[in-house]
Chain A
Amino acid sequence: MSNTFNIFVLMKQVPDQSAKAGINPDGTIDRARAKRMLNPFDRYSLQAALHVKKTYGGKVTAITMGPPAAQEILLEALEHGVDIGYLLSDKRLAASDTLATAYALHKVILHLEKPDLIFCGLQTTDGDTAQVGPQIAERLNLPQVTYCEDFRIENNKVIAKRVVEGGYEWTKIDIPALITVANSYHPLEYKSLRGAKMVQDLLRDENEKSKYIKTVNLDDIGADPIKCGLKGSPTIVARTDKVSEIGGSCKTFQGKPVNEMVSELFKDINISEFVKK
């Protein structure tokens, strides 16, 4: 049994919803103008993948699907110590729902070396579904641990701590496996100087960069276009409505002495039932 693991980490570039740029007045996101970032949940799965490499040995391949700009997050992953990045980019992937996304991503994995461990973020901040990871596990016929908060590897099995409502459970799972990492896992460590330097160099040398960031399309990975994008998605978003501002109008006190504002506030509301007696 080899002791070096073939590790995959799946990641996504998402709009930064805290930045004002690219957020339309109706609340929708103009993805072309929005500030882009690595899905915050993927920072934990990236840490998990790098932890396996560092502690048990192995190679980490980062995979993402998206427009050409999504290679930015692969470069970021390289800075942190990932060995190689794959970007699946194809116009025929537009309007993919989770089922179509999972289909396409599992084809990328099948196109590469057989995985030992696949790490996914718990969910994304732009979709919030937490579905793609388990859907890939189903496609690849792998066991899974979702909401994984901690783990170690013993005798080629993963001993994983899984967060559940009101507590946690410890499970032992065969490798190969897919793991989605909870955000209570260890935060991502800083970029390595060597990684940052390497990416600096790659940015100056397109030829060298192409050795570390591979861009593939549906034909390269042998994916059936019928199962991708709009055609391959069993769900569609039929309508979106803006949710009315919560609380409606805020009653604000300002420009007066603090004690006056506080007593005015408590003329309006009474929360004494919660106050310690």
Chain B
Amino acid sequence: MGEESQKQKEIITPSNKEVIVVCEQEKGEVKPVTIELLGAGRDLANKLQGVLSCILMGHNVGELAKKLIAHGADIVYLADNVELKNYKTLPYRRVVVDFLSSFTLPPHIVLLGSTTTGRDLAPRIAAHFETGLTADCTELDIGPYEHTNKMDPDKVGLYPGCLYAIRPSFGESLKARILGPWKNPQMATVRPGIMLPLQANYNHKGEIRNIPVDLKPEDYRLELIEVVHEINKSVNLTEADVIVSGGFGLGKQEGFSLIKGLADCFQNSAVGASRKVVDIGWIPYQHQVGQTGKTVRPKVYFACGISGAIQHRVGMSKSGLIIAINKDPEAPIFKFAHYGIVGDLYQVIPELINYFKSNSLPVKEKAIA
């Protein structure tokens, strides 16, 4: 009897089964990541048979509540105050901490976007409540967890209704399922652009409740001087359809003129680079793709003279079509590219340029024929 039944001992961590999404808005617009989080949160709330709510902070933003409800929220908690007009760590932190402290039973789950705002705010909330937070999730689910680790016997038991926070780890070669069922709320930040939003349904019934904004003098230790939106960035790696990247295999800095030549064949393109060539100064940092550079997901990615080290792969592996050009057939890039040409890039790239330049001709030829 003893051991078998002990193993099955079910432990319910106190919670009100509520899933809360922290909304991000800017200039009166809800950020897409919030709508995505509501889609994911709706699914979690349904599985828990609980409610989905959303904390909306800002100034004169009450109108946005309707949109949040249409996209799945059952309750919108509205904190409207001039100090909340733009995101600032301490005032936003104060509102969320005070609000979450007001629950008799804590909410089950709190979700934020894995954005510069969410990654700034979420760790402070989690540290305040000394609860678990998983960064940068790409999947979320609800399920049971049986903890058997005798290293901490107090925690042994079967936990139903855990948040499965699933994220890439070790440079995306592994996927980790991270759990923290012993304390609620269980928290996660979620990568933008991954979760599926719900279609807006303006018949979905929801409730709007005002929540207090009670800032303390210490919340004014940071002042926002100005917010600058850059429209015409010369290097727009994250929005390019086609990226042509060069690596150490170029052999010399001048090789980048060839890379630019290939990029120029396309309408919306950008030049990327591996960390190594940025480090040795062949091209400015703004072009760097990878773990310590930009994460990109263009429709087409040309990797020229890039070995495909994990740091680089992390930043571009989600590209639609990866074409690698490298003279080393053993280069790791050929393990995850879709197409590869083994050869000297100083011969292959001019041939590609030639192909694209002449490729606009066949249409004419056809017309003549």
- A167 contacts which chain B residues (CB < 8 A)? 227-230
Contact with B along A182-202 (1 / 0, CB 8 A): 011001000000000000000
Interface residues as binary, B216-256 with A (CB distance below 8 Å gives 1, 0 otherwise) = 00100111111111100000000001100000000000000
0/1 per residue, A131-149, Cβ < 8 Å to B?
1111101110101111100
Once the chains bind, are A243 and B351 in contact (CB under 8 Å)? no
Q: How far is the CA of A275 from the CA of B263 in the complex (A)?
A: 10
A184 B285 Cβ-Cβ under 8 A: yes
Q: Given B285, B329, B341, which contacts A261 in the complex, CB threshold below 8 Å?
A: B341
Check if A254 is an interface residue, CB within 8 A of chain B. Answer: yes
B178 contacts A27, C-beta separation under 8 Å: no
Q: Are A129 and B135 in contact (CB under 8 A)?
A: yes
User: Chain B residues with Cβ under 8 A from A98's Cβ?
Assistant: 123, 133, 135
Bound complex: CA of A275 vs CA of B222, how far in Å?
A: 47
Confirm or deny: B103 has a beta carbon within 8 angstroms of a beta carbon on chain A.
Answer: no
Known interface pairs A269-B321, A271-B300; A174-B178 also in contact (CB < 8 Å): no
Contacts of A127 in B (CB 8 A): 169
Within 8 A of A (CB), among B255-308: 264-269, 279, 285-286, 291-293, 299-300
Please tell me if the beta carbons of B265 and A276 are within 8 angstroms of each other in the complex.
Answer: yes
Chain B, residues 107-135, CB within 8 Å of chain A (1/0): the string is 00000000111011111101110111111
Grouping DSSP codes into helix (H, G, I), strand (E, B) and loop, the A interface class, with mixed when no group exceeds half, is mixed
Also in contact, A137 and B179, with CB within 8 A (given A183-B293, A258-B347, A275-B265): no
In whole angstroms, what is the CA distance A128 to B285 when docked?
20
Interface status of B359 (Cβ within 8 A of chain A)? yes
B52 within 8 A of A: no
Q: Would you call B173 an interface residue if the criterion is a C-beta within 8 Å of the partner chain's C-beta atoms?
A: yes
Q: Report which of B130, B267, B351 forms a contact with A258, defined as CB distance below 8 A.
A: B351
Residues of A contacting B203 in the complex (Cβ-Cβ under 8 angstroms) = none
A259 is contacted by which of B127, B241, B351 (Cβ under 8 Å)?
B351
A125-B311, A173-B222 given; A238·B178 CB < 8 A: yes
A128 B169 Cβ-Cβ under 8 A: yes
Say yes or no for A165: interface residue by CB 8 A criterion: yes
Q: How many Å from the CB of B344 to the closest CB on chain A?
A: 8
A131 to B338, CA, bound (A): 34
Which partner residue on chain A sits nearest B300 by CB separation?
A271
Pick from A27, A134, A254, A276: contact of B123, CB under 8 Å: A134
B226:A169 contact, CB within 8 angstroms: yes
Number of B residues contacting the other chain (C-beta, 8 Å)?
Answer: 102
Query: Is the C-beta of A219 less than 8 angstroms from some C-beta in chain B?
Result: no
Check if A230 is an interface residue, CB within 8 A of chain B. Answer: yes
Closest chain B CB from A275 CB (angstroms): 5
A262 CA / B323 CA spacing, docked (Å): 11
Q: Is A207 an interface residue (CB 8 A)?
A: no
- B317 close to chain A: CB less than 8 A: yes
A242-B127 in contact (CB<8A): no
Interface presence of B14 (CB below 8 A)? no
Q: Are A134 and B227 in contact (CB under 8 A)?
A: no
Q: How many A-B residue pairs have CB under 8 A?
A: 271
Interface presence of A56 (CB below 8 A): no
Contacting residue for A253 out of B88, B267, B317, B340, CB 8 A:
B340
The verdict on A272 contacting B224 (CB below 8 Å), with A166-B230, A168-B230, A253-B342 known, is no
Q: Is the beta-carbon distance between A41 and B267 smaller than 8 angstroms?
A: no
Whether A168 touches B170, Cβ cut-off 8 Å, given contacts A99-B127, A252-B340, is no
Cβ of A169 and Cβ of B336 under 8 Å apart? no
Asked if A11 is an interface residue, CB under 8 A from chain B, the answer is: no
By a CB distance below 8 angstroms, the chain A residues around B268 are 274
Min CB distance B242 to A, Å, is 5
If A143-B221, A243-B173 touch, whether A135 touches B123 (CB-CB below 8 Å) is yes
Q: A18-B310, A134-B123, A138-B124 are contacts. A262–B348 as well, Cβ < 8 Å? A: yes
**CB atoms of B116 and A146 under 8 A apart:** yes
In the complex, A261 Cα to B116 Cα: how many Å? Answer: 44
Complex CA gap A241/B299 in Å reads 27
B355 adjacent to A170 (CB under 8 Å): no
What residue of chain A has the Cβ atom nearest to residue B269's Cβ? A274
Q: Give A12-55 interface residues, CB cut-off 8 Å to B.
A: 17-18, 26-29, 40-41
Let me know if B355 and A266 touch, CB within 8 A. yes
Min CB distance, B306 to chain A, in Å?
12
Chain B residue at minimum C-beta to C-beta distance from A241: B175
Q: Mark B309-337, 1 if CB is under 8 A from A, else 0.
A: 11101000110011110000100001111
Q: With the chains together, A230 CA to B322 CA distance in Å? A: 41
Separation of A126 and B206 alpha carbons in the complex (Å): 42
B106 interface residue per 8 A CB criterion:
no
Cβ-closest chain A residue relative to B286: A184
B85 at the A interface (CB under 8 A): no
Asked if residues B355 and A262 are in contact (CB atoms below 8 Å), the reply is yes
Q: Cβ of A210 < 8 Å from any Cβ of B? A: no
Q: Can you sample 18 A-B contacts with CB below 8 Å?
A: A98-B123, A102-B127, A130-B135, A131-B133, A143-B222, A144-B120, A166-B230, A169-B225, A172-B222, A172-B223, A233-B132, A242-B174, A246-B318, A251-B338, A251-B340, A252-B342, A271-B321, A277-B360
